[in-house]
């Protein structure tokens, strides 16, 4: 999947929760609105997609307040001290989380900042059912050009 396709999917998710790409673009990137596809192309080619994915407006919409969301927490391994004072290694299996807190977007922006690839981090929160991706047009809910 190309960066352009990634941004279309991510923006569609945020847009479904009230994000207005046109408004954000004209305030933060350029006063002239070039249209959805051109705006995403500019964000991709000029490397400005980080400005979008780390913006508070985008994050609030992507992880909408109070909306239940399903995502996968990856497997992790860490050490801790048990009750006997011994260091033990904990291996956690991946699991699905289904609920979020009202201001969870703040947590996720911090987690994106420390992740190796913020776009890959965001992909964990997109619908994962194959039928959703094949039947869903990434631009159907985005504002029209003009």
Q: For a pLDDT cut of 90, what percent of the chain falls above it? A: 36
In a domain, 58, yes or no: yes
Pairing of strands 87-92, 71-73: unpaired
Q: Which of 68, 16, 8 is nearest to 40 (CA)?
A: 8
In a domain, 131, yes or no: yes
In a domain, 61, yes or no: yes
In a domain, 129, yes or no: yes
Instruction: Give the pLDDT confidence of 6-46 residue by residue, as tens digits.
Output: 888 899 889 988 999 999 999 999 999 999 999 999 998 87
Q: Confidence class of residue 75 from pLDDT cuts 50, 70 and 90?
A: confident
* Number of domains observed in the structure of the chain: 1
**pTM as predicted:** 0.63
pLDDT given for residue 100 in this prediction: 59
Pairing of strands 95-97, 76-81: unpaired
In a domain, 72, yes or no: no
CA–CA distances in Å: residue 4 to residues 9, 31, 75, 116, 138? 9, 21, 29, 19, 11
Q: Retrieve residue 112's tokens.
A: 């994106």
In a domain, 26, yes or no: yes
Question: Which structural domain range is residue 131 located in?
Answer: 3-66+101-135
pLDDT given for residue 68 in this prediction: 64
């Amino acid at each position: 999947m190309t960066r352009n396709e990634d941004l279309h999917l991510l923006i569609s998710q945020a847009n479904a929760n009230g994000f207005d790409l046109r408004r954000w673009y004209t305030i933060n990137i350029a006063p002239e609105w070039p249209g959805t596809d051109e705006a995403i192309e500019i964000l991709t080619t000029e490397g400005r997609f980080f400005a979008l994915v780390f913006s508070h407006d985008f994050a609030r919409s992507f992880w909408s307040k109070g909306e239940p969301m399903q995502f996968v927490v990856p497997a992790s391994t860490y050490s801790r001290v048990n009750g006997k004072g011994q260091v033990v290694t904990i291996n956690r299996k991946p699991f699905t989380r289904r609920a979020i807190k009202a201001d969870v977007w703040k947590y996720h922006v911090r987690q994106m900042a420390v992740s190796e690839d913020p776009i890959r981090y965001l992909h964990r929160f997109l619908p994962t059912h194959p039928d959703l991706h094949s039947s869903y047009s990434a631009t159907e809910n985005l504002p029209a050009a003009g």
